[in-house]
Structures are given as structure tokens and as C-alpha cells.
Structure 1
Amino acid sequence: MNKKQTLSLGGMMLGAAILYTCSTPRYVKNNPVQRDADGKIAVNRKPNPAPMSPEESMKNIYLPKGYHLQLVASEPMVSEPVAIAWDGNGRMFVCEMNTYMQDIDGTGENKSLSRIKLLEDTNGDGKMDKATIFIDSLLLPRMILPLDGRLLVNETYNENIYSYEDTNGDGKADVKKIVYKTDVADTRNLEHQRSGLLWNLDNRIYVTVDATRYRFMNDKLIPQPMIESGGGQWGLANDDYGKLYFSSAGGENPAFNFQQPPHYGSFNFNDQFNDEFQAVWPIVSTPDVQGGPQRYRKDDSTLNHFTACNGQSIYRGDKLPADLKGDLIICEPVGRLVRRAKVVNTNGKITLVNAYQKEEFMASADLNFRPVNSATGPDGALYIVDMYHGIIQEGNWTRSDSYLRPQIQKKGLDKNIGRGRIYRVVYDGFKDPKKRPDLLKRSSAELVPELANANGWWRETAQKLLVLRKDASVVPPLESMVKTNLSPMARIHALWTLNGMGALNKDVLFYAFNDADAQVRKTAIWASEDFLPENTDEVMAKIEPLKLDPNANVRMQVALTSRFIKSQKADDVVAYLRKAPASNAAFVASQAKYERLLADRERSARNARAMADAEKKLVLDGGVIFKQLCQTCHGSDGKGITVGSSTPAPALANNKDVVGDPEKLIKILLHGLKGPVDGKTYPDVMPALGHNDDAYIASVISFIRNDLGNKAKVVTAADVKKVREKTQGRTTNWTMDELNAK
């Protein structure tokens, strides 16, 4: 960093707001790759690890012909950005994790020195020129959701969620109110905690990891338990029709649980994408890969497989080529790339395919390029958040005995801190829209037409604001929109807006059951769930004929909605649709998985009834932790997960080491595990969980030993304490050879 940059950064630290001028040209030439005789991109095998200026970094980023990057903001305006969101007037909130891995040991990571910035483009040229510290002194903020001038925020290691508001217009929050309170400390590793806080089409707010969604009512977040967690880690996406997309870096799983909304239960097909999709194509040799040599291609030392998949979004804008709309964008910061996946719907079954043949939508030869999030902006462009940080792996994986540590130190990646860039992807001829967001200023009547906007950001923001206002004067135009608007998307948003306002009547709802568009019919069935159980017979009478709908997606929704309706007619509908496996294959597989879940839970309940109360509590507590943390890699049933042909972690079900000497398991949870297990090498280490208390460790192990098809004596906190004292001072992961020798 030069002297001028240092002074600018110092000014940012001292002042609450700055003005910043970005002189980046409109388009930077960003096709730096060379190709061989076969047309394959030639990999840069000896990249310079030194940080580059934004302009130089952009020159090292590849995009397909016609696409270009524009710099929206960079250091000193932003530092360590990880997430962005816009308020109704198009101002951008930026989460900064300013203490994340500031050295290779993560020193000071848990200090409350992070921020949320408010960025503004005051002249409409697409570049941010004003920055204000909206909230200071936060602990690694990870979830934000703009409402109607308020911003919901969650910090790491805490499950409380607060609303912040700027009431005097100076760009700094001056009102803070709690909207969700638990006061339960979240001791999970930083990488395993929740993200999201996504307001979806159904007016529910979703997060990753936990089996809970929320509604915002009367200035509070009201939790709604789901039958099963959607899982996931960093990042959560939704499409135009409310389908959610999760990802799991720990499970090396770029996308999952997108077949159906998670409140119907977790469900995936083994072939929803193949090994070819899991292969990634960097344009630079990749030194810092957790998992070591098995994650490198031998010929060019590039990352060969998704490992840090995160920050996904569905492109829902209107200013890029039409064939990009509806595609899934997945960030891969270890590979320094961004995947574009085509989403294919075949009779209700969703599959993913790379949009390019052995190439990526975006890839960089800059070793410090770290894409961690993506989003569709109010201007219709695609935004990419580049943390531009040397280390992209949390401290549990950079310990003294890790594979990563020497790789990071050799390249000096631990020295790159305090930077960050936000880009937008545009296309040839892109011009900033003359129409700039002003939705917070508009009347409710003026918001209604935006439900038909071609850009998904405008539609969902208008819906959110109308639901929050609950202005009864717009009910008639919304009802008219459901029945007469030519845009299916407008009719869908009008239905959900009425639903969220508590103003959707059965006449309008049942009218939509017969809409000419299949997605509208599907939406109406989904929305009808909020009329249950008070109107069960009447609702089922309207749903039942749609079991014969010609569209597989509609039939799938009929089946999923009927799954939880307590009536004979609903049971008959489910049974009917199960008997037509050729035309309803997606639902048949989903229902079989759901019934296995119920059987597993009944077995667990029987086992619990036979236990003493203290033992039962241990197992129940451990089950909650397992579902939040462990199932990402080991599977919800403990049988492991298979992503293509890859298995990220060993199975725990019917495992001799699980039901054997408990000291082995205690040691693993306290200090972690690396290396082969039963002759098989896995791509990731089992991280140490010893920072948690003895009761936490005991409960997880007790659950694993008394569920998932296992049966063995529970482990108590006293058992854990003895092993903790016995192994005190250990700083490295165990190996199975060590454990088996003792």
C-alpha cells in the first residue's frame, strides 16, 4: 500500500463518511488468457502473489466475449467485504469482516472491530462515490436484510438479530432494536454458522444451517420451525419462483436442496449434477487448497473440484443477455473463479450443467481474487463481491500441522489484508438505467406496478415494502393484477403480496388455481397453505383436481402441499400421485425420502423412551448440534453424502469406531482428525471442536452413539473432562494410526 492509500484509509478510520472518486475506465480489457492449439485456456503456472491494484486485477480476470467488469467500489472505500444488499432507494449496504484472518493464526478475529458501510452512487454512473459507516464495532457481521429504511443484522457467534435505522439522514444508524432474541451463544466455527436472512417470494425469511424460517410481523421476527433444515453454509439464493439454492463448502457441494423448498423436507437426487459439473477450471495454479495434492490437476496444479463453493445467486436482472437469466452463479474463492450453471427443469426434476465446456464464466490469474458473494442489482447488472484477501480459510484449517500453512506462507498470502473490491458484470453497450430506485419514497399505489418489472430486484423489493406497509388501499389493484395482468410474474407477486398483507381472499386465490400459466397455478397452491387448517375441506376440494394437471411442477406442488394436510382426501391425493412414477418421478422420490425420515425419527423416539432423563437430554441436545453442524459432511442419516462420485467425510452409521471405545471419539472432537480413515483419504480434515465445553462434546458423541443406526453407552461431560485433561497441550489433529495405537 502506498503513502496516498495509507492516508486515505486512515481518513476512513477517523471519519464517519468519505467522498471517493473512482477513475476506473468504463471497460477494462479483461480477456487475459492464452489458448493452445485445441482452444483450451493456458494456465498461468507462476502467478505473482503480490496484491494488485483494482485496475491491474481486472486486467487479469477472464470473462466470455461481450461481458465486461466495472469497478463499483474498492479499498479504501471498502475493506474485507463479504456481503451486499440494497435498500429501496438503491443504496448499498456492505458487510465488512475486518478481523477475518488478519494473520495466519487468526489473531484478534473475535474482536468487535467490523463494520457495515452504506455506499451511494450520487451521480448515477454506476460507481459508488460516497461511503458512510452505517454501523461500527460489530463482531464479523454475516447476515443483513434491508426492510423499509431499517436494516436487520446478525453477527457471528450470536443468534440475536437487531434492527438498525438512521432517523436523521446522516447515513449512520442511530436506533437499534432487537427483533429476535435468544441470547444463546453460537459456539460453532465461523465457517459453520448461519448465513442468509433472505426474504423469499412466500414472505418467509430463510437462513442456512438451522431448521427455522421466520416471518417479520409487528416489528419482530417470528420463528417458524421446519420439518428439516435446508443445510448449507455461506450463501443462499432464490429464483423468480421462490426456489432456494444452498451450498456447502465443507461438503464440497456447490449446490443442493434446490429440488423443493426446505419446509417440505430436505431432498436431493444423486444425479442432479455429475462429476463433470463438480470439476472446476481455474486459469491459475492453485497453491492453497485444503486437501492437498489430491485436489490438484497433475499437469498444471489447478484446483480440480469445488472446495470453497459459496455466495451463490440466481441472475434475475434484465440488462445482461436473456440466456443468462435464471442461471445459477456460484463463487469459488479458492479457485479464483465464478461458475455459471444452467438450471434445467425436466418434468419437475432440476439438474445443473456448466454453461461452458471446461471453462468458467469468470476466472482470474490474480492469486488474491476471492469472490465470496454475488447478487443481481437494481440496475439489472450482476454484482460480484471480491474480498481480495490473502487467506480464505479459517484458522482451524491453517494450524501448525496443516497442509495449508506452509503454502500460504510461501506465497506471502497472509500479508494481504485490508483490501476488497465490488464489481458489476455488464455487457456490450450497457448503459446505466435512467430510472433510479426511489421505492422508499413512493406511495403504495406507485409500488404496485413494479410487481411487473422485468428486474427481479424491483419486483421483490416492491412486494416486501407493500407487505410491511399493509396499506389496504392497494388491495383492489392487487386483486385486479392477479386476474388481468398479462405478466405471469406480476400475477405471482400480486398473489404473494396479498398473502403477506393478510388480504388474500379465497375468491382471488381459487381464481388463480385455474390460471393459464403453470407457475401461477403452482403459486396459488403453495399460497393456499396459509388458509389451513381452518379451511381444510374447502382448500383440498380445489387442490384435488390439480393432481391431473398437465404440468409436472404443478402436480409436484399438489403433492407437497397435500403431504401435511390432515385429511383423507389429502392422503388419497398423495397415494394417487405416488402410483404414477413415470410422470411424477420427482415427487415419488421425494415422498420415499420423507417417509424414511419419519421412520428414522420414530426409531430414535423409541430409543429415547428407553433412556433415563439425563441420558435422553444428552442425546436430544447432541441431535440439534449434529443437524446444525455435522450433517453437512456426514449426511443427515449419518451414512455420508455423495456429491457425484466424491464423499467428503466417512459414514458414522453402523460404524465400529463410533460404538467402540468412546475415548477415541472424544479425542477426535477435541483436537480434530486428519489423514486416511480405514484406508480412504478424504479431502478435508475434521476440525477441532475443543473450544466448546465438555457438555457440548458429550452430547454430540452421545447422539452419534445412540442414533444413526448405532447403539452404545452415552458419554458424559465428566468423561470428556478426563480426556481433555489427559490431552491438554495438544495443538495438532490426530491421525487414525495414533488413535488406534493407544
Structure 2
Amino acid sequence: MKRVMGLLCLSLAVYACKVAQTALKRDAAGKIIVDLNPSPAYLSPEESMKTIHLQKGYHLQLVAAEPMIHEPVAMVWDGNGRMFVAEMNTYMQDADGTGEMNPICTVKRLEDTNGDGKMDKAIVFIDSLVLPRMILALDDRLLVNETNSNHIFSYRDTNGDGVADEKKMVYRNDVISKGNLEHQKSGLVWNLDNKMYVTVENMRYAYENGMIKSEFLHEGPGGQWGLANDDYGRLYFSAAGAETPALNFQQNPGYGRLDFKDQFDQEFQAVWPIISTPDVQGGKGRLRPDSTLNHFTACTGQSVYRGNTLPADLKGDLIICEPVGRLIRRAKVINTNGKITLVNAYNKEEFIASSDMNFRPVNSATGPDGCLYLLDMYRGIIQESAWTKVGSYLRPQITARNLDKNIGRGRIYRVVYDGMKRDKTVPRMLSLPTAQLVPYLTHANAWWRETAQKLMVVRADKSVAPALKTMAMTSPNHLARIHALWTLNGLNALDRETLTAGLKDADSQVRKTAVWICDEPVRKGDEGLIGLLEPLKDDPSPDVRFQLLLTMRFSKSEKARKIIKDLLAANPTNQLLVESQKKYTDGIAAKELAERNARLMAETDRKLVANGAVIFKSLCASCHGEDGKGIAIGGKDMPAPPLAGSKDVNGDPEKLLRIVLHGLTGPVNGKTYPSIMPALGGNDDEYIASVLSYVRNDMGNKAPTVKPADVKKVRDATASRTTPWTMAELDAIKK
């Protein structure tokens, strides 16, 4: 009995605490020696942790693992610090994705009841879901969105048994999402401005009287899986399909997309695994001679570290997961005259990397204890079935290593640092009176600040307005002043005196916040407010001047146009201001041209093109570029061929139809691209006709629209096709 008890105590200690790591092997020059022949075998959590290497001083603690959780993809905490984990239990259970849409997925609620740092209680909070992809803890309600659906439901446990027994639709959109599950939206992040942001679609959301309201954005923000925000409300997107680790972070998506080719460079694009990575969609072109991934591909699950129990130099850094490379990037965020650039924090190494083939980090977040949390889906396959079909590059890689057999597991880790203790304070915000939430806006950990602000806005309790006003005008903490301003704005209780004080604040980020808050009243024609904003055109901070430029676009007044003109004249070498304004004016001109062209079309054609524009901008633009000329952020090769002015786009549509229905691989016009074109044949005929009609009637192209009947004809004729086309095959068909 003593021996058994001793072993039990030892196992619990190993589980809760840090696990010793095996030392990385290095050559004489100090370069990491890569494991060229890794085993695909399943490892226990303790064994796997020994293969996960972090930079000096950092370590992992295991928070939860199977059988407590399975196939985890997203995690959030409610105001009482309880963790909710979305599980995609049906994701790629074999190489064909059999049964993926079966409604048997769950959201679990996890708790650490004894404060030892590991989860010891797990309850299925919600069951019978279809691949839950977005979750957000509102108050005592959890918002959830599922794959293929645009509805958002709130779930609540009303009787205290840990299981949701109340389900309400808080946002209704009956349109069915038809795209590949990797191409559907994610996020639902409550940002500093009290808006909820998502990737892909041209919408953001706001909470109002118990319901979620959508707000139209004139341009989709891009991105795919994962969405990060920093202390000042800056958002960071990633696009795995376009192999772009970070994008659209120069300005808020409400003002449209903006990227620069040099916002990071080729050196940043390069990744540094410590393991051979043969199972990469891009094939051998994405591998170094030593068989390691040479470039970001599955960039995803990003977050900005915003806590207080890890080293100060980590705060504000962007964390990017790369599950194909079995690694996690730490990026330093550099602000130069308002323009943001990214660099790797380490020289040809990563913040975290593993030699376990099943280590698949897919999400990250700052937790209530101030630590960084990592979500490891821990599985063999990490690509959707569109890229693992028979005949694909990936299929034999998967089969040879039996990667399709490693399913049904998952781990959550906490990153800790030598000599620093995590904050063990247990949140109890849900039961606190609203007045007692106000002091949390001064907390050093952003999780507490954001949660307190969100709860106050959701409760709509204006009794705290005087305390918030005092904080906004007198707090020595500039972040507290920022949160107080946004909370007042969210409560519709921000008076002109407090806003004016914000515009004159000594801190530039507070001034920028106050200008941002002015968007809505400026849109409504508040001329007096424009007069208060005008002096800021000479503000010493480029961030403030840029925000002023963006805000003035919402006004049609002569004074606002004069402010924009003065800003551009005074800052002719500021790339951020100049390029943002050029993109904005070019976009207006392109919209006017599209409207003129649409008036010349028949009504059915106009509808096809309009619907196709939405599809293209939310899905296709991430690889082909918004203007159809391809995108090349970071000095890399374009991930997909340009469409603008293409003879194949403007010619006989049958070739395009075959490509869209079944996909395309191999060289295009003599150039090899790093990604294959996935088959979109799972979408209906009108969907495909719409996107091709848009492509053929925009971006400088002019060709007849494609009708749903055209799609059906080609679909029927190629029904037996199971592999992507090559251009050689397609060209031969016409000969």
C-alpha cells in the first residue's frame, strides 16, 4: 500500500509541476541538430512534455489532458475563472474526414477546485454540436457558433449542475456557410471598442439588450483560424491558406484592410522546427534539405501576451502557433511612425518547438493567472480532407506514418518562468456588484481589465458612470483611463467633458482612444466635435494623427476634408497615412466603376456578381489578393496565381469551372505555387457561378457571367473526377 501511495503521489507531482526536458542537441556552431527520423507514436502527456523545448527560463505545466478533454480547438474563461473548451470531436477521424459533420461535438467546462494549477473537474457543458468554432464567455452565458452555421446561441446553466439547460438564439442568420471548414470564420473576440470581431466575413458584432447585432464592414478582414488583440485594441489576423503568419494589423478592419509587403520580411517567414516535417501540404518545395519546414504554412491560433506573471519583455509580443512545424513563434512588435513591423524574437530558433510528431498547437491565450496558455490538439492529421485525398502529396505521408490513427486526444499547457509565481487569485466577478468591478480596470493583467469592462457593458448599469469618469480623468494608470473611456462609451454614458479630457491626455494612446471613440458622433454629423479634433492634426504622435485621418473619413463636412488634406500635406513621407488614404480613395473609385458596370447588366447577372464579390473577398482574396494581382507580404512568393487580366479567366469558363469544382495542382503558366487550389465542388451551382462571375467582371476582367446551369453541365460531365487537375490536363482537353 505504501508503494502504491508513493507512486500515486509521484505521478500527481509530475502532472501538476514542470516536467524535466531532454536537452536539445547542438552542433559545434551551436545550431540545433534536427531529429530527422521522428517517431509518429503517441506519447503520454509527461513524455510529450519532455520533447517540447522552450527558450531559457520558460517551462510548461500540464493543465489538462485526455481523457478529460478530446480534440480541443478553443478556450475561454468566464468571470469566475472557469475554463470552457470547444472540442471538435469529429475533426479528421480518418484521412477522408468521414463523419465530420455528425452533431456529436461538445463544449466542456473545466475547473481547478483545489488551486494546485491543474484541472480536476470536467463537465460536458454543451453536447450535440457540429464542430463548434467560436466561443465567448459573455457573463454567466456562453456564446457559441458552429461550423456551417451563421447563428450565434447563448447557453446558460440555470440550476448550478454545470450543464447548460438554457439555449437562446441571440443572433440569427439563416444563410448556411458552405465553404470548407478551414475557410469559415473564427474569433468572436470582444475587443477594447466593445465590438466582437471575427475573421473572414465582412461583419463585426455588438451586444445590445440581450441580443447580438451585426455591423457591416465594407471589406472582409481576411484571416482564418485565430484572432488576437493587444492592450490598445489592435487586431492581428493569420491566413494559413495564404501562408501568411500575420496580416491586416495596420488599422482596424472597420476602416478596411491594409497590408504592406515589408511589414515583415523573408527572415520572419522562415520557421525553425527541431523535427523533420514531411507532412506539409506544400510538398517538397516547403522543405529544407534537412527535411524541416522552411516557411510558415499552418499559421494559426495567435494571441498577444498581456499578462503579469511572465517576464516584462514578453508583454505585447505576438504569439503565433504553427502546428505543421510543431512550433510556436514569438514575434516582437515594432512601431515606427505608426507603422507596425514584426521580427522573430530569436535568431533562427523558435520560442517553443517540439520533436513529438503529434504536437499540434492550435490556439493560445493569456489566462486569469497572468500566464500564457497553449492548446495542443495533439493528433496526427492537422489538414482538412480537401488536402488529404487519394492522389494528394499528403496522403502517402499520412499513410506511411499512420498519422490517421492518432486521434481523440488533446492537451492544455501553461507557460511559466523561473522565479515567477502565477497569480492564484480566483476570480469571482460574476457575483460582484457592478461598482466592485470598476477597480479591476487598473489590473496589471489584461484578462481582468477586459472581463470587468465586458461585464459592465453587458449589465448596462450606468450607476458606475461617476466612478468611471473619475478614473478616466485622474487615474495614474493610462490603461485604466483607456478602459474607463471605452466602458463609459459602451454604457452610452460618456459626456463631452470626459471625452475632451481624453483628447488632451498626456498619454498618446489615451488621445488615440479618444479620437477612435469619436467615429460614431462624427459619422452622425457632430460639427462641434470635429472642431475639438482639428488641433490633433499637429499631434506629436503619429498614432494619433493616423487615427484622426481614419476618423475624419466618416464625415462629409468640408472641415473634415480639410483636416485630411492638411494631414497628408504635413506627412508626405508617412507610408501609413499615404497608403491608407490611397487605398481608401482607390476603393471608392473601384466601387463606383463596379456600380456603373452593374447597371449595364441584366438583373440576374448583377445578383451573381454581387454575391460573388462577397465570396471572393471573404475566401479567395487571402491567396489571390483583393485586386486579383496576388499578395506577396514578407517578400515571399505569391501563394496563388494572379487573376487580374488572366487569359484563362477571360476565356472559355469551362477550364475555370473544372478547377473550382475539383481543384488544381502543379505549375501554372510555368510557375509553381506553394499551395494547391482546393476543390470547392461541395458548394452548390449558384455559389460557384457567383464567384466566377465576379472574377470575370472585376479586377480589370470583362467576360460573360457564368450561370448555374453552366456549372451543373461541367459538374455532371466530371462527376467521376476525384483528384485535382493540372494545367497540362486542362490545356489538353481543348486541343
The TM tier, using the shorter chain, reads over 0.9
Is 1:471 the equivalent of 2:431?
A: no
- Pairing partner for 2:680 from 689, 692, 696: 689
Is 1:123 the equivalent of 2:114?
A: yes
Q: State the distance in 2 between where 1:582 and 1:603 align.
A: 28
Is 1:571 the equivalent of 2:561?
A: yes
Range that drifts further, 441-450 or 392-401: 441-450
Q: State the distance in 2 between where 1:389 and 1:112 align.
A: 21
Q: Does the C-alpha gap of structure 1 residues 95 and 664 become closer, same or farther in structure 2, counting only changes over 3 Å? A: same
SS in 2 for 1:603: helix
- Pairing partner for 2:248 from 257, 265, 277: 257
Q: State the distance in 2 between where 1:430 and 1:77 align.
A: 28
**Partner residue of 1:721?**
712
The two structures, once aligned, show a CA RMSD in angstroms of 1.1
SS in 2 for 1:71: strand
Q: Please show how residues 77-226 of structure 1 align to structure 2 within 5 Å.
A: 77-226=68-217
**Partner residue of 1:13?**
none
Q: State the distance in 2 between where 1:160 and 1:373 align.
A: 23
The CA deviation at 1:601 is 1.3
CA contact (8 A) 1:577 1:584 kept: no
The CA deviation at 1:21 is 6.9
CA contact (8 A) 2:309 2:422 kept: no
Range that drifts further, 584-593 or 427-436: 427-436
Q: State the distance in 2 between where 1:560 and 1:37 align.
A: 53
CA contact (8 A) 2:435 2:464 kept: yes
Q: State the distance in 2 between where 1:23 and 1:348 align.
A: 46
Q: Please show how residues 393-432 of structure 1 align to structure 2 within 5 Å.
A: 393-432=383-422
Q: Please show how residues 643-682 of structure 1 align to structure 2 within 5 Å.
A: 643=633, 644-682=635-673
SS in 1 for 2:656: helix
Q: Match for 1:661: what amino acid? A: D
CA offsets, 1:125-156, max 9 Å, x none? Answer: 21101000000010000000101100000000
The CA deviation at 1:741 is 0.7
Q: Does the C-alpha gap of structure 1 residues 522 and 134 become closer, same or farther in structure 2, counting only changes over 3 Å? A: same
Q: Does the C-alpha gap of structure 1 residues 583 and 446 become closer, same or farther in structure 2, counting only changes over 3 Å? A: farther
**Partner residue of 1:279?**
270
Is 1:235 the equivalent of 2:226?
A: yes
The CA deviation at 1:646 is 1.9
The CA deviation at 1:181 is 0.5
CA contact (8 A) 1:340 1:355 kept: yes
The CA deviation at 1:65 is 0.9
CA offsets, 1:142-173, max 9 Å, x none? Answer: 00010110000000000000000001111100
The CA deviation at 1:124 is 1.2
CA contact (8 A) 1:384 1:422 kept: yes
CA offsets, 1:491-524, max 9 Å, x none? Answer: 0000000000111111111111100000000000
CA offsets, 1:441-490, max 9 Å, x none? Answer: 21111110000000000000000001111222211110000111000000
Q: Match for 2:99: what amino acid? A: G
Q: Match for 2:65: what amino acid? A: S
Q: State the distance in 1 between where 2:520 and 2:561 align.
A: 19
Q: State the distance in 2 between where 1:605 and 1:553 align.
A: 34
- Pairing partner for 1:76 from 43, 47, 67: 67
- Pairing partner for 2:534 from 544, 550, 555: 544
CA contact (8 A) 2:86 2:107 kept: yes
CA contact (8 A) 1:32 1:61 kept: no
Is 1:54 the equivalent of 2:67?
A: no
CA offsets, 1:84-126, max 9 Å, x none? Answer: 0000000000000000000000011110111000000111121
- Pairing partner for 2:494 from 504, 508, 515: 504
What residue ranges of structure 2 are gaps of 5+ in the alignment?
A: 1-10
The CA deviation at 1:25 is 4.7
SS in 2 for 1:495: helix
Q: Match for 1:189: what amino acid? A: N
CA offsets, 1:40-70, max 9 Å, x none? Answer: 1110111111010000000001101110000
Q: State the distance in 2 between where 1:438 and 1:114 align.
A: 29
Q: Does the C-alpha gap of structure 1 residues 425 and 434 become closer, same or farther in structure 2, counting only changes over 3 Å? A: closer
Q: Please show how residues 520-669 of structure 1 align to structure 2 within 5 Å.
A: 520-534=510-524, 536-582=526-572, 584-643=574-633, 644-669=635-660
CA offsets, 1:295-333, max 9 Å, x none? Answer: 0001x1000000000000000000000000000000000
Q: State the distance in 2 between where 1:266 and 1:432 align.
A: 37
Q: State the distance in 1 between where 2:584 and 2:161 align.
A: 51
Q: Does the C-alpha gap of structure 1 residues 354 and 504 become closer, same or farther in structure 2, counting only changes over 3 Å? A: same
Total equivalences in the alignment = 722
Is 1:340 the equivalent of 2:316?
A: no
Q: Match for 1:29: what amino acid? A: A
The CA deviation at 1:23 is 5.0
- Pairing partner for 2:313 from 320, 323, 326: 323
Q: Match for 2:518: what amino acid? A: S
Range that drifts further, 85-94 or 28-37: 28-37
CA contact (8 A) 1:70 1:424 kept: yes
CA contact (8 A) 1:31 1:63 kept: no
SS in 2 for 1:72: strand
The CA deviation at 1:541 is 0.5
The CA deviation at 1:29 is 1.8
Q: Match for 2:107: what amino acid? A: I
CA contact (8 A) 1:556 1:584 kept: no
Q: State the distance in 2 between where 1:357 and 1:699 align.
A: 46
Is 1:491 the equivalent of 2:478?
A: no
- Pairing partner for 2:297 from 276, 283, 307: 307
SS in 1 for 2:136: strand
Q: Match for 1:442: what amino acid? A: L
Q: State the distance in 1 between where 2:196 and 2:13 align.
A: 35
Percent of pairs identical after alignment? 63
| Divergent runs of 4+, >6 A | none
CA offsets, 1:690-740, max 9 Å, x none? Answer: 111111111111111111110001111111111111111111111000000
Q: Does the C-alpha gap of structure 1 residues 31 and 646 become closer, same or farther in structure 2, counting only changes over 3 Å? A: farther
The CA deviation at 1:599 is 1.5
Q: State the distance in 1 between where 2:119 and 2:627 align.
A: 47
Range that drifts further, 468-477 or 334-343: 468-477
Q: TM-score, normalised by structure 2?
A: 0.97
Q: State the distance in 2 between where 1:22 and 1:634 align.
A: 51
CA contact (8 A) 1:22 1:73 kept: no
**Partner residue of 1:480?**
470
**Partner residue of 1:28?**
19
SS in 1 for 2:429: coil
SS in 1 for 2:15: coil
CA contact (8 A) 1:30 1:69 kept: no
CA contact (8 A) 1:159 1:185 kept: yes
The CA deviation at 1:669 is 0.8
CA contact (8 A) 1:30 1:63 kept: no
Q: State the distance in 1 between where 2:275 and 2:717 align.
A: 45
SS in 2 for 1:692: coil
CA contact (8 A) 2:333 2:341 kept: yes
Q: Match for 1:240: what amino acid? A: D
